[in-house]
Copies of this chain bind each other. A is one copy, B any other.
Amino acid sequence: MHVQPLGDRVVVKPKPKEEKTKGGVILPDTATKERPMQGEVIAVGPGRRTDDGKLIPVSVEVGQQVLFAKYSGTEFKIDDEEYLILQERDLLGIIQEA
């Protein structure tokens, strides 16, 4: 069982907060700034449909590690695993090794 996102949404498996490994992306907890989070893209929607009927595909792919604003998206659980469903505009960047 899985969730196939609609429109330009993506399903992300968020990285647990405890997992702040050495050299990794550490996300500061400040009052003046939104705190972003990190996660792996699990499923990608077909994209955004424009008024001309054109489909603008989503610019991330399954398996990529993404950075996203903390309070964006909607949480859900499958088999006790937590997921997030987000719109493409809530994704800030792709985390790349080296």
Contact = CB atoms under 8 A, between A and B. Distances in A.
Interface of A: 1-7, 9, 11, 23-28, 30, 32-36, 43, 45-46, 49-54, 56, 59-60, 66-67, 69, 71, 73-80, 82, 85, 88-89, 91-98
A15 to B, nearest CB: 13
A62 B67 CA distance: 20
Nearest to A73: B33
Contacts of A7: 59, 89
Contacts of A96: 1-4
A69 B50 CA distance: 23
A51 B11 CA distance: 23
Contact of A36 (B4, B45, B74, B80): B74
B28 A1 contact: no
